[in-house]
Amino acid sequence: MRFFRDLSLSAFTAGFVAVLVGFTSSVALVFQAAQAFGATPAQITSWMWALGLGVGLCCLVPSLWLRKPVMVAWSTPGAAVLASAGMAGSFTMPEAVGAFLVCAALITLCGVTGWFEKLMDRIPMEIASALLAGVLARFGLQAFGAAQTALGMVLAMLAAYLLGRRLLPRYAVVLTLLVGVAWAAASGKMEWSRVQWELALPVFTAPQFTWQAFVSLALPLFVVTMASQNMPGVAVIRATGYELPVSRLVSMTGIASLLLAPFGGYALNFSAITAAICMGPEAHEDKDKRYTAAVVCGAMYMVIGIFGAVVTGLLIAFPQELVLAIAGLALLGSIGSGLAGALRDETHREAALITFLVTLSGVVIAGVGSAFWGVAAGVVALFVQKYGRRGS
């Protein structure tokens, strides 16, 4: 099979790191969101079953079909919106499921009509690259910020990364991860007690549609998913040089969310952070073979869905500092490429820099994250510069 011929150790590691980073950075929010709607332990496990299988299949199948990396994730800011609105509004699980279905229908509509892709086509590549750099730079900062609480481990991982880049560049991230795990295990920071040996089973919840849930849950979930997840996700795709059928893939995530919503699959979307890990040169030196990293990522997410609590415990066992450090170091190349692409054209440089800084700030306005506001600020700056000069 071609996949196994194309697969490399670096691609496998990139897929694993993507799962490690994506899962551990957001699973707590998913739990909080489920609990905000009064979910039982069985329903919480069902959420992980639905999200794991949904993400896994949406990464694995199109990546194998297109031979290009297609990276999908569940909506992390969406989980935050749900957790906040759920605790404030006393919504029931059936009302939440109804809102999930409405949100999924809106995402599918954006994909089928091509509206979202047409919008992204009008954004200059420099702005998209600046958006990518701003989104990823926060992880680079967090990697070195982790040294405040785990100085030895972060320094050891940094040394492994630098030596790896010089001696074995294809396996630099592999060596860095191994050094981090070894350090954490030797220092007793691996929390093996979190592992619980049980499988996940789906639990169906019949939807209930109310206008309160539509306004408070469905619309905010849709907005943050499209603005804070799909928009930077497309920016990563284009900044790394891949041409993917964006509208069809958006439709795919919407349909998958429709099918999985009654089981807890609240919203699937393009990923940005983990996509950069699997689409960058660290995943594979051959751009045409990086799809294998996305396939590995998808397969691992499917295992998470099937084995639920077991894999959840294993991934959460890693100390937070290790996750932050490996994410930041694995993304250094992508951050550099994003900044280079953003600043290469002098006519777009200031607008791109504004996009980068606003995105990096992490500002949240009206529940919408900095990725959207970074693009908005950059586009406005570019408009003023371009049309102001012409009229002067």
Average the pLDDT over 112-139 and give the result: 83
Q: pLDDT class for 392, splitting at 50, 70, 90?
A: very low
3-class DSSP state of 193: helix
* Distance (Å, whole) CA 246 – CA 135: 20
Indicate the average pLDDT of the chain. 86
Average the pLDDT over 261-268 and give the result: 95
Segment among 124-133, 151-160, 277-286 with least mean pLDDT: 124-133
pLDDT 10s digits, 33-88: 888 898 887 888 899 899 999 999 999 999 999 999 999 999 877 887 788 777 77
pLDDT 10s digits, 208-258: 999 888 888 888 788 778 877 898 899 889 888 899 999 999 999 999 999
Say yes or no to pLDDT of 390 above 60. no
Average the pLDDT over 136-153 and give the result: 88
How would you classify the pairing of strands 268-270 and 72-74?
A: antiparallel
* Distance (Å, whole) CA 88 – CA 268: 24
Task: State both tokens at 305.
Answer: 């869905």
Q: What is the pLDDT of residue 287?
A: 92
Four-point Cα dihedral 294, 300, 306, 309, nearest 10: -130
Q: What is the pLDDT of residue 124?
A: 83
Task: State both tokens at 209.
Answer: 């549609």
Task: State both tokens at 214.
Answer: 């539509």
Say yes or no to pLDDT of 149 above 70. yes
Q: Looking at residue 286, what DSSP letter applies? A: S
Provide the strand spans (E) within 224-337: 268-270
Taking Cα atoms as reference points, which of 331, 339, 325, 336 lies closest to residue 159? 325
- With a CB cutoff of 8 Å and minimum separation 6, the contacts of 126 are 341, 342, 343, 344, 345, 348, 349, 351, 352
Average the pLDDT over 195-203 and give the result: 78
Q: How many other CB atoms are found less than 10 A from the CB of residue 286?
A: 12
- How is the chain split among helix, strand and coil, in percent rounded to 5? 80, 0, 20
* Global pTM value: 0.75
3-class DSSP state of 308: coil
* Distance (Å, whole) CA 241 – CA 233: 13
pLDDT 10s digits, 354-380: 999 998 888 877 766 677 788 889 989
